[in-house]
Structure 1
Amino acid sequence: MLIEEELLLSYGAAVEELKTSEMIFEEGDTPRLFYQISKGRIKLSHFNEDGKELILAVLHDGFSVCELLLFIEKKYPVSAVAIEPTSIITLSKEKFMRLLDENPNISRDINNFLSQRLYYKYIMLQNNTSLHPEIRIKGALEYHKSFSNDLSKFAFEVPFTRKELAAITGLRTETVVRTIKKLEKEHYLKIIERKIYV
């Protein structure tokens, strides 16, 4: 949990319940709220000029959503959509800034969190420029596993479908399916009841 829910609520935060496929904000909207996921999953995505969806991140319990845009005067470059029933905490930008001013330790935690996300995002971007699908897929899986509490082998259940992995890596779904099978044979990952574990 990035910021304790009790602290957010003490500053006037509200809790919203979202249905699957419900939009939180759209690309081009102006950031006005701090969002933190209490329970559920949200995807950040962009549609290219050909109408193909590119998933740039999938966020889950405890993650904040595009909080860095509250510090600059830019519009959202992505859309945020719930990909399962999701409970989200919202706090106005003004109250969020006051919370940070009055709690410098939270500000340091956010800087640390943003730095880690940015570091792994760079690694993922490097992997996504590879012509080899296994490098792209490994990069995406390792990026998401890096936020898990248990980093031991096969402990992380990948929360994506093969189609979502394709949208994250810019590959075709068929390529992802073939590569996942290859990585299983190489003992990089395990498949149990169609779920991927790394």
Structure 2
Amino acid sequence: MLIDNDLLIQYGAKEETFRPGDIIFAEDSTPKYYYQLTSGRVKLNHIDEAGKEFIQTILTVGQSVCELMLFIDECYPVNAIVLTPCTILKIPKKYFFKLLDDHHQISLDINKFLAERLYQKFLMLQNNSSLNPEVRLLGIFKYMKSFTEDKEAYSFEVLVTRKDLASLTGLRTETVIRTVKKMEENKILKINNGKILF
């Protein structure tokens, strides 16, 4: 968890519930709140001019939603769409910055978190430029697993569909399915009841 829920509430955060398909914020809107997931999953996506979805990332419990945009005067470059029923703590930008002013360690923790996320994004971009689909998928699996503490083999359950993996990597769904099977044969991952364990 990035920031303790009770501390967020102490500084004025309100809990909101969302259903699958709900939009937390839309591309080109102005960032006004810090959002932190207390349950559920959210995807950050962009729809290109041809109508094709490109998923930037999938967020889970304890993660914040596009918090970096609060630090610059730019509009959101993505949409935040709810994937599963979820609850989010939402705090206005000015109270969020007051919290950071009052709690310097949290400010340092957020800087570290942003640096780690940026580092992983660099790696993901490098992997997505590869023509090898296994390299692309391995990059996204490592990125997703980087947010968990358990680094043991097969300890991370990939909570997205093969279609979502295709949108995350720019591959076709059929290519993802074939490559995942090959990766299982090579013991890079396991498949248990259709779930990918990395």
TM-score interval, normalised by the smaller of the two chains: over 0.9
Question: 1:26: Cα distance to partner?
Answer: 0.3
Output the amino acid matched with 2:50: D
What SS class does the counterpart of residue 187 from structure 2 fall into? Answer: coil
Q: Secondary structure at the match of 1:168?
A: helix
Q: Flag structure 1 segments of 5+ consecutive residues without an equivalent.
A: none
Q: With structure 2 as the length reference, what TM-score do the two structures score?
A: 0.99
- How far apart in 2 are the matches of 1:107 and 1:101? 8
Match of 1:16 in 2: 16
Cα drift, residue 149 of structure 1 = 1.6
* Mapping for residues 120-159 of structure 1, pairs under 5 Å: 120-159=120-159
Q: Which portions of structure 1, spanning 4 or more consecutive aligned residues, are displaced by more than 6 angstroms?
A: none
Counterpart Cα distance in 2 of 1:186 and 1:167: 24
Note the 1:73-152 alignment, pairs <5 A. Answer: 73-152=73-152
C-alpha separation between the residues in 1 aligned to 2:148 and 2:21? 25
Question: How far apart are residue 49 of structure 1 and its match?
Answer: 1.4
Quote the Cα distance in structure 2 between the aligned partners of 1:153 and 1:24: 34
**CA–CA distance in structure 1, aligned partners of residues 134 and 24 of structure 2:** 32
2:83 and 2:149 map into 1 onto residues whose CA distance is: 22
State the identity %: 51
Q: Equivalent residue for 1:184? A: 184
User: Structure 2 counterpart of 1:177, which letter?
Assistant: I
* Match of residue 3 from structure 1: 3
Q: CA deviation at 1:148?
A: 1.2
Deviations 1:137-158 (A, max 9, x none): 0000011011112110011111
Structure 2, unpaired ranges of 5+: none
Give the 3-state SS of the residue equivalent to 1:35 in structure 2. Answer: strand
Root-mean-square deviation (CA, aligned residues, Å) is: 0.5
CA-to-aligned-CA distance 1:56-96 (integer Å, 9 cap, x gap): 01010000111111111000000001100011000000100
1:87-141 per-position Cα deviation (integer Å, ceiling 9, x unaligned): 1000000100101011111100000100000000100000000011010000000
Taking the aligned partners of 1:60 and 1:38, their CA distance within structure 2 comes to 8
User: Secondary structure of the equivalent of 2:157?
Assistant: coil
Map residues 56-71 of structure 1 onto 2, 5 A cutoff.
56-71=56-71
Q: Which amino acid aligns with 1:183?
A: M
Residue 20 of structure 2 is aligned to residue 29 of structure 1: no
For residues 115 and 39 of structure 1, what CA distance do their matches in structure 2 show?
24
TM-score of the two chains, using structure 1 as the length reference: 0.99
**How far off its partner does 1:50 sit?**
1.1
Aligned to 1:72: 72
